[in-house]
Amino acid sequence: MTAAYSIYFFITLLKIPFIPATLLAMLLSMALGMLIERLAYRRLRAASRLSALITAIAVSLFLQTGYATLFSPDPRAFPVTAASFPVFHLGEVSLSSWTLITIAVAIAVMILLQLFVTRHKAGKAMLVVSEDVKGAYLMGIKVNSIISMTFAIGSALAAIAAALFIVSYPQITPYMGAMPGIKAFIAAVLGGIGLIPGAMLGGFLLGLIETMTRAYIPSSLSQLSEGVVFIVLILVLLLKPAGLLGKSEREKV
Amino acid sequence: MTKSKIVSYSINLAAALAVYLVFHFLFSSRIVSRTLIDLFTLCCVFATAAVSLNLSTGLLGELNLGHAGFMSVGAYTAALITLAAGRSGNVGILLLSLLAGGLTATLSALVIGIPVLRLRGDYLAITTLAFGEIVKVLMRSMKITGGGQPLTGIALDTTYTIGYWVLIITLIAIYTLIRSRHGRAIISIREDDIAAEACGVSVTKYKLFAFAFSAFFAGIAGGLYAHYAGVLEPSFFDYNQSVNFMVMVVFGGIGSLTGSVLSAFFLTLLPEFLRGIDAYRTLIYSVILILLMHYRPSGLLGQRELSQRGIARIFRRERLDAQPISGVGGGRAIERENIPASGSAERKADSALRDRTGASSGTPEEPLERRMKGRR
Amino acid sequence: MIGQNGAGKTTIFNLLTHVYRPNSGSVILEGEELRGSRPHKAVAQGLSRTFQNIRLFRNMSVLDNIKVGYLQQGKYSIMEGILRFPSYWREEKAIDEKAKDLLRVFDMESYADYYAGNLPYGQQRQLEICRALATNPRVLLLDEPAAGMNPSETEGLMHRINTLREEFSIAVLLIEHDMKLVMGICDKIVVLNYGCVIAEGSPEEIRNNEDVINAYLGSEA
């Protein structure tokens, strides 16, 4: 949401074109993410899951109402839409090039991230920190920097996602991030928490399922399409408790 | 029952009655505005919901992000029953509908719980979230519940009397449960479910029970709400509402039932007091939350309960820290947070906390920390 | 049971207590075959265990920890508990006394109201044994009970385990690396290596068994 607003203002007020605006928004997001981590989450590293969850919810509430107060809660129309991109016609099917761009960007980003996490030293350090913070300290890993970096990367990716999102759904409101946020979490869990290919798989699956349901379900039951995502999640977790790609680790007794 | 127990119980009951009578006189004497009376009733309803959530999240230790879903089930069941019965102002029918609401909520808890409670940590949390949303969608799509339109015309039968006493009954029921062998079993699951199983606790059975019991009272709270508001909308019982209740539980202290009551009242009344600065209400609320999590993560009462012993101590002006009051395993030795024990991430956080505060199972000859008086 | 780390000793405990289900073979106790799918059933069948990494209910009092062990012996139902029937008062009083008696055997009476998580290490290990005893087992499975103890504590543990056997008539199955303890109190020793039993016998026999010396003990045993 914050990235969406940033891009919006860069384009409309500063007349910066779309792609540079997105890059600038990424930088802003990274800064915001690192700031939030420093202020709100760092102290809670040793705290319980629940405390961190509530803090995160409070932060998102703060951002949403903050933006609503500052920039008015009225929806704004985003000037760049999918229509601005050329449309291909393959026989009877018309395909917007924006759709292709979205998919391509998503896949590229995921591949880059996976390579980063498995090949690059900092990426591997990130995995280590998530496994065992104390051990990471003992190995000389600068844990604070790595965690800040993680938030920076996450926020930058969120900015990219925002850019992709608002072109397809060109309406910006302060609360636009809530539902996508929940669905993102569901997608991550669906694919297996902690696995990047899992998140990618989960995201694509969820998107497909939701769109298909909405397309093919009779309008009398249209409400149900909203619930489909959640039903799928529960069914998948029942069959594969650690997510689609997750390996369920039995705790060694 | 020993004589001292009878005395102790009588004092508690008398206190509950006294509090009620105070409010009763205030409310019936027209000093207090209708709005405040309604607010009090709403606080009671939400406190019931918070206390029931404390059972599944605080005492059992399972993160439940779909509590509002149980309320929703109870609310619609109760509303539909009184709507069908047609008459308003009949306490008997109201109570029956509340019971029915509680039972359907319990049923739904069993339906979702049996397959799902074997999941751990994050995964369980997200399925409870999913459950809440599914309930919302179902209520929106079924014709009997209004089919997307709000369900109106529900008799406004929830009085402050009914709200208060339902809350008291809920408190008593969960409190006595926890201080019994079954309650010990439930808490042991939170502490270490593998060890609990090794001691003979049937983890599956007790998890399911705690979950269902918690849902029962949530359903009743939902029914109460339905007859408070007169109108039911599926979107009221959504993820945000579940989070609200979660915040109430954490704010009051995980594992502290009276803490949940206090915080429910406080957090329901807070927006009203902030009404002057309407625009900034939610902003201030979110900042308060963040500060709370940073500086007092164990909440208002930690694991302790508002008890006779605690109040007596206040009068004797002893430092509360020196003699921690009980809850089950209550009291506060080091800044020990109550950490839901399921899922390995929690265990890591737990051990990280213990290491940070210097208490660790690997260190021999740890100097003994404070004494704790258990209260049975 | 002795053997290298990774030989399968804890795995056997897990098999005995239904944490793992065997692919083949069966568990037979006093002539009857034990079958069960959940660990809590093992407790009902008379097997109780402690853990290699201490697993106490840290935020519960020492007394409460032990009372959890008495769960299966209690009779009052959930409703009777909530409504505070006479059975509740009767049983709670009995459990309270039994738990305190158990603590007395281990000289831990004064710790009754402490947080389990605040006990010194040695006492935590003892509490785990206490809790396991509360379940009234026929066989007590102790997983490295002397780990991290100094020699005098180990000595105390040896006496305690002997007391257990005599006063409570319990069989004790021990996993240990501390040879003084093992040779001192064990009637029979089983040696595991890479998942197989390589020797069984009295302490004397094991001490002089060549395979065992090569695989595990070293020549200084």
DSSP B49-100: HHHHHIIIIIIS----S-HHHHHHHHHHHHHHHHHHH--SS-HHHHHHHHHH
CA dihedral B115, B120, B123, B124 (to 10 degrees): 60
Q: How far apart are CA B227 and CA B248, in angstroms?
A: 22
* Residue B138 falls inside a structural domain: yes
Distance CA(B371)–CA(C115), nearest Å, equals 8
Asked whether the beta carbons of residue C54 and residue B188 sit closer than 8 angstroms, the reply is no
Chain A contact for B103 (CB, 8 A cutoff): no
**Smallest CA–CA separation between C68 and chain B, in Å?**
6
Contact B233, B71 (CB under 8 A): no
Look at B130-134, B170-174, C150-154 and tell me which has the smallest mean pLDDT. Answer: C150-154
Mutation site for A-interface testing, chosen from B62, B274, B294 by largest number of A Cβ within 10 Å? B294
Instruction: Return the DSSP state at B232.
Output: B
B54 with B63: CB under 8 angstroms? no
pTM above 0.80, yes or no: yes
Distance of CA C207 to the CA centre of its chain: 25
* Collapsed DSSP state (helix, strand, coil) of residue A102: helix
Among A49, A128, A138, the residue to mutate for chain B (most B Cβ within 10 A): A49
Q: How many whole angstroms separate alpha carbon B201 and alpha carbon C131?
A: 13
Give the gap in angstroms from C-alpha B286 to the nearest C-alpha of chain C.
Answer: 30
Across C162-183, average pLDDT? 88
From B301, B34, B341, select the one nearest B203 (Cα to Cα).
B341
Q: Answer yes or no: do C92 and B362 touch at CB < 8 A.
A: no
Chain B residue numbers touching A51 (CB-CB < 8 A): 250, 293, 297, 337
Inform me whether the pLDDT recorded for B174 exceeds 80. Answer: yes
pLDDT of residue A35: 95
Distance in Å, alpha carbon of C145 to nearest chain A alpha carbon = 15
Residue B50: what pLDDT?
96
Q: What's the domain count of chain B?
A: 1
Say what angle helices B67-85 and B239-252 make with each other, to 10 degrees.
110
The 10s digit of each residue's pLDDT in B287-340 is 888 898 888 888 877 777 777 766 776 666 654 443 333 333 333 333 333 333
Q: How far is C57 from chain B (nearest CA, A)?
A: 5
* Tens digits of residue pLDDT in B249-271: 988 888 899 999 999 999 888 87
- A37, A45, A54, A193, best to mutate vs chain B, most B CBs in 10 Å: A54
B348 reaches C (C-beta below 8 A): no
Determine the number of helices (DSSP H) and then strands (DSSP E) in chain B: 14, 0
Residues recorded for chain A = 253
> How distant is the Cα of A64 from the closest Cα of chain B, in angstroms?
9
Name the range with the highest mean pLDDT among B25-34, B86-95, B330-339, C139-148.
C139-148
Contact B333 C49 (CB under 8 A): no
Identify whether B124 is part of a domain. yes
Ramachandran region, residue A93 (left: φ > 0; alpha: ψ -120 to 50; beta: rest) = beta
Q: Compute the half-sphere exposure of residue B95: CA atoms within 13 Å on the CB side of its CA.
A: 7
Q: Which domain holds residue B207?
A: 15-238
Cβ-count burial of B323 within 10 angstroms (0-12 exposed, 13-18 middle, 19+ buried)?
middle
Does A51 contact B122 at a Cβ distance shorter than 8 Å?
no
Hey, what are C12's tokens? 């056997």
Which helix (H) or strand (E) covers residue C8, if one does? none
> Nearest to residue B194, comparing CAs of B66, B343, B303, B335?
B343
Residue A103 carries which side chain, given as an amino acid letter? I
Between CA C219 and CA C221 the distance in angstroms is: 6
pLDDT, residue B368, reads 25
pLDDT at C149 over 80: yes
Judged by DSSP in three states, A76 sits in: strand
> Could you tell me what percentage of chain B is helix, strand and coil, using 3-state DSSP and rounding each to the nearest 5?
70, 0, 30
Q: Note the ipTM here.
A: 0.90
Domain boundaries, chain C: 2-186
The reply to whether residue B372 touches residue C72, judged by beta carbons under 8 angstroms, is no
- Predicted confidence at residue B289, as pLDDT, reads 85
What CATH class is the domain C2-186? Answer: alpha beta
Nearest CA in chain A to C143: A253
Could you say which residues from 210 to 229 on chain A have a Cβ atom under 8 Å away from some Cβ of chain B?
Answer: 221, 223-224, 226-227
Query: How do residues A62-110 score in pLDDT, each as one tens digit?
Result: 999 899 888 888 888 888 787 777 887 777 788 888 888 888 999 999 9
User: pLDDT tens digit string along A144-182?
Assistant: 999 999 999 999 999 999 999 998 888 899 999 988 888
Q: Helix-strand-coil percent breakdown of chain C, rounded to 5?
A: 50, 15, 35
Total beta-carbon pairs less than 8 A apart between chain A and chain C: 4
Q: Please state the rounded mean pLDDT for residues B264-283.
A: 79
Chains in contact with B via at least 3 Cβ–Cβ pairs below 8 Å: A, C
